[in-house]
Amino acid sequence: MSMNSNNMNSLSLSPMTSDVFDIIVIGAGVVGCAVARQFTLEGAKVAVIEKASDILDGASKANSAILHTGFDAPANSIELSCIKSGFEEYHKIHKQLNLPIEKTGAHVVAWNDGEAAKIHGILSKAHDNGISDAKMISAEQLLIKEPNLGKNAQGAIYIPDEAIIDPWSAPYAYLKQSIINGGQIFLHTQVLGGDFDGDIWEIKTSRGTIKSRHIINCAGLYGDELNKILLGDAKFEITPRKGQFVVFDKVSAKIINSIILPVPNNRTKGVVLCRTIFGNLLLGPTAQDQKSRTDASTNEQDLQELIDIGIKKIPALKNMPITATYAGLRPATQFKEYQIETKPEKNHLTIGGIRSTGLSSALGIAKYVYKLYEDMGLKHSKIKNPKLPESASILAQDGKRDWQKENHGEIICHCEMVSEREIKAALKEPLKANSLAGLKRQTRVTMGRCQGFYCSAKLSQMTKGLFENPIAKDITKNTHDAKDIQS
């Protein structure tokens, strides 16, 4: 394909349609993907609209990749019930969708007397929240299980069922299951406005008009703005909360076994240390409120402070090589509780303020919202034998990886062991990668220790003509007499 061709063509977007959908989900983050899956499987005709060229481009692109049990969620909250049912649903479907999970367990560690006093409250809360196997363990027991922890650990609450998962392949699988069962995705499509005539919504987008009976706002960081555009006002206001993370080299993953959680304060869960399903060690997040909904920049000083916190907890981190740093924005609001609301008179549902537990609760939120939809007197007939998406490769370090199988082609990304076959698959529909960021989330290319030193050039070649924003452009022939290349 020539680079002179219209770049938009290279995105191969689905054409706009005059069909009337039952549901339009606005926003393809983890919540939007789970909601699309739920409604599709319930028999609704679903479209998902996403303003970015790939899904998971907002809050869902960066999190701590933990599947929480809900042990510390606010009592009697929607958040708690959604985390619990989301946790349960993930366990039910992960095998058929070929999604990895590793039950590492978590320790909420008390590092001083004040925290030691507080963890009793955390334990009784866990029990109240139905996590009955949570238990207190002594400093001695803790250090037997986690011998590399700093010696000032005073004891911990152990929650056996906390687990780590792949934060990207899960929502990809949810949306792919929606798509192969009739759901549609419109990428690179931003909502500009909309009219509701009492029966049907006509949504104006950057790529034309699209119609639906109901709207579900899953716009994450833009949830309040979207409600202002479509409903005229919003009941909540998003204040993005930035979380910066440091990813340590795979060599460091063996220094801890479980998820090491701090005693949380009112505002955040605090700094977590855990392995990732990909075999790294993750440290973060920070919690910094900001105005910008796009500024996911990292800051050297913050990262250094984060590393110092990490070293205090696990001294062996000191000489561990750093693989990556990143930041994510969580869509926090002025409320602690999720902002899930229905406007039956407007055929409108909002799922807002899903802060830091969205990955755990998404499948639960989807069920809960479908129930609200039914309560509005609406019903479809469930798809009888829903199809399963062709399973993507498991990217988990301990999973059966594609490179272990024959005919994978070459290994392109050596740090993360991503095969040529995996990359080619991610460049095909459904949900083909339209950007390097999308390709990274689907395959992990360039996310390892060399950060693209070895494979960027090959990737640039393999994705030539496929991305709106290419990794690199052709050096035109007249640029230079390239004799010495040929030698």
Binding site residues, another protein, CB under 8 A: 247, 249-251, 294-301, 303-304, 319, 321-326, 403-411, 414-415, 417, 435-436, 449-454, 456-458, 460-461, 464, 469, 471-475, 479-480, 482, 484-485, 487
Asked whether the bond before 285 is cis by omega within 30 degrees of 0, the reply is: yes
Residues 6+ apart with CB under 8 A from 237: 224, 333, 334
Please identify, using beta-carbon distances, which residue of 114 and 409 lies nearer to another protein: 409
CB of 394 to another protein, least distance (A): 16
| Cα–Cα distance, 290 to 330 (Å, whole number) | 10
Distances (CA, A) of 479 to 92, 474, 482: 57, 10, 9
What is the C-alpha separation between 217 and 340, in angstroms, rounded? 10
Cβ closest to another protein, residue 68 vs residue 408: 408
User: What is the nearest approach in angstroms of another protein to the Cβ of residue 393?
Assistant: 15
Please identify, using beta-carbon distances, which residue of 17 and 299 lies nearer to another protein: 299
Q: Measured from the CB atom, is 113 or 406 closer to another protein? A: 406
- Quote the strand ranges of 91-236, DSSP E: 101-102, 106-110, 135-138, 155-159, 163-165, 184-186, 191-196, 201-205, 208-217
Burial class (CB in 10 A: 0-12, 13-18, 19+), 19: exposed
User: Do the Cβ atoms of 315 and 143 come closer than 8 Å?
Assistant: no
Q: Which is nearer to another protein, 95 or 483 (CB)?
A: 483
C-beta of 303 vs 359, nearer to another protein? 303
Tokens coding 224: 């309040």
For the CB of residue 191, give the shortest distance to another protein in the complex, in Å: 17
Query: Smallest distance, Å, CB 251 to another protein?
Result: 5
Instruction: In angstroms, give the least distance from the CB of 407 to another protein.
Output: 6
Kindly list the strands in the beta sheet with 163-165, ordered across the sheet, starting from the edge strand earlier in the chain.
66-67, 163-165, 101-102
Residue 354's nearest CA partner among 73, 11, 52 is 73
- The residue (of 177 and 446) whose beta carbon lies closer to another protein is 446
Q: How far is the CB of 375 from another protein (least distance, A)?
A: 39
Neighbouring residues of 332: CB distance < 8 A, sequence distance ≥ 6: 238, 239, 240, 241, 289, 353, 355
Output 152 or 206, the one with its CB closest to another protein: 206
Least distance from another protein to the Cβ atom of residue 457, Å: 3
CA distances (Å), 405 to each of 372, 400, 402, 421, 441, in order?
45, 8, 5, 11, 21
Residues 82 and 376: beta-carbon distance below 8 Å: no
Shortest Cβ 426–another protein spacing (Å):
17
Kindly tell me the burial class for residue 77, based on how many C-beta atoms sit within 10 Å of its own C-beta (0-12, 13-18, 19 or more).
middle
Amino acid letter, 220: G
Which is nearer to another protein, 295 or 429 (by Cβ)?
295
Cβ at position 57, least distance to another protein in Å: 9
Q: Measured from the CB atom, is 106 or 459 closer to another protein?
A: 459
Structure tokens at 470: 């290419």
CB of 299 to another protein, least distance (A): 5
